[in-house]
Each structure stands twice: as C-alpha cells, then as structure tokens.
Structure 1
C-alpha cells in the first residue's frame, strides 16, 4: 500500500549515470523558466510556452503545494555534463492509494531528446516508485500525436491498454484530446530486471 503521507519530507535526489533528478524549488526558477518557455517543447505537451517568470513561479508553487498535500511528486531532470542544466521534469501524480497505483508524467526539452535522457530518468523514477513508494502499478497517458513517448513507454515494458477519449485538454489546439493509456505492473518491471 502507498504510504500516506509520503515517507519523506523532502524528495530524495536520484542519481543516474548521466543525470541528477532533484526536487524543483524556487532556486531553479530561471533554469526551469528556460525549459517552460521553449515553444516546441511545450507545444508537444499541448501547452503554451511561459512568457514570463511569474508563470513559471506559479507552476513551481503549484508543484510544491501538490507535494505538501501528498498528491504529486516532481523532479527536475538535470544533465551532469551540462553544468547541471535542467532539461526536463518527471514525476508521479494521480495516486490511487487503494490500488497502489500512480500516473507517471514527464516533459523533456526538444533540444535534449534522442540522447537517452528520458529513458534513463524514467527507469530511475519507475524504480523509485516500485521500491520506495511501494506502488503496484504505474500508468501513463500520452497524446496520440506524441509518438516518441509512446515508443519509449513501450520500450520500458508498459502495455497499451487502450484509448481514453477526450482525457486531456490542449490549450494549444483548444480542444479535448484522446490519450493512449499504458500500464506497467511491478511484477512485469521486476521480470524485466532479471
């Protein structure tokens, strides 16, 4: 069963070969704003790019309040070789305590895609979810037009469950979007590790 509240007051920092995943704070405002103001990056997630620091500050405040309320966890994804440059964010939300499940979500700068960073970050966060949050399953909802993340979750062993009609609103297209629904259970992840 998922521990409530989270079994930590501060989100643990995760290290991989190329990345550092750490909790986003106000200290990251300027670098996070660079990510959130990338038009191509935000458009691929159906969002308008941030035009000023206040928008990014509001986002950081929302993420912090969700963490304090035990409803979401979000790490910044920093590349070690890029002087700790933030290249994305990743985490869990939509916790279903009864079923021991959560939804994983990530955003990666288009300038850093195709270098294995998303794969490495997802592996680390999935491990964390199963080992430290005691999740039994992790779900992902991805816009049908977002082909790279669909390929990535399949590569990680997620099973495609189906289409969830009009699940997410795209402020770019000003309409509701159908989302591909994927799921990964702990036992399948553990089998992949063997």
Structure 2
C-alpha cells in the first residue's frame, strides 16, 4: 500500500484530491455581474459620506473592516487615510481604540463605538448607551449619515469577502 492509499474494510482506495478554488478565477466579478447593484452601493456610499469629516469616514471604514476581517477593504481604506494625512499611530490603534482612547476625539470614539455595535449587531443589538453617545456628538442628519456609512462599509466588506477580493488589488 502506498502512502496515498487508505485501507477501509479490506478495500484499498485512493482519497480524492482536494481542489481548492482559485479566488482570482473562481469567484464572480460582482461589479460586472450585478452592475446596477454595484452602482447602487456606490451611490449609497457617496450619499452616506455627505456632511461627514473625511478622516472620520476612513476611521469608521477601517474599524468595520477590522471587525469583519476584510483585508481588501482594510488595505484600501488605510491607504486612503494615509494619503489624506492620517497618522500612522492612529491607523495602528483603530483596532484597539477603546484601549487608546486618548488618540481619538470624543466624537470619533462615539462613532467607533457605534461602528462596533452596528457591525456586531447580532451580539447585542445597538445598546441605548452606545446610540445615545453617538446622538450626543452628531446631529440627527449626521447620525443618519454615520449609520448609512456603517451599513455601507459592512456591505462592501461582505461583497469583498464573498467574492474573495485580495488585499492590494483594488483598481482605484
């Protein structure tokens, strides 16, 4: 019997070879296969950002991408944040913002807490305390846009993860 054969009930069989999909070739190109949906998400993304500080937008997108383990989006948004002048310290500490609160304003902390709650909504919903903290720092229009931003980055994360997008391959 060779090392690739298995003996079961006096029969010798060769195990099936596991074929792993190549994410670059075996997953759909979402933008090409659902262009109307893709454009709608782009429109939602653009509308959500309106009236929000661009630095805050990137922090929220980075945090949600950390939580969702989306390397593609994380790479994209940390790159964008660097280009916009965000400090390396803050970029490295977004993942542990609660332990490094002094690097973030009260407003940013409220947005990050809301990002955590909405992204992990299945754990405990959005606690009143978290929502109230955000509502204390954002007017109703800003809060609506912040919620839309969080919903949008979670959608982008899920698209990227479901279609196996690889970090560093964005075409922007």
* TM-score, normalised via structure 1 length: 0.25
Q: Which structure exhibits the higher relative contact order, with contacts defined as CA atoms closer than 8 Å and separated by 6 or more residues?
A: 2
Please identify the structure whose Cα radius of gyration is greater.
2
Structure with the largest fraction of helix: 2
Structure with the largest fraction of strand: 1
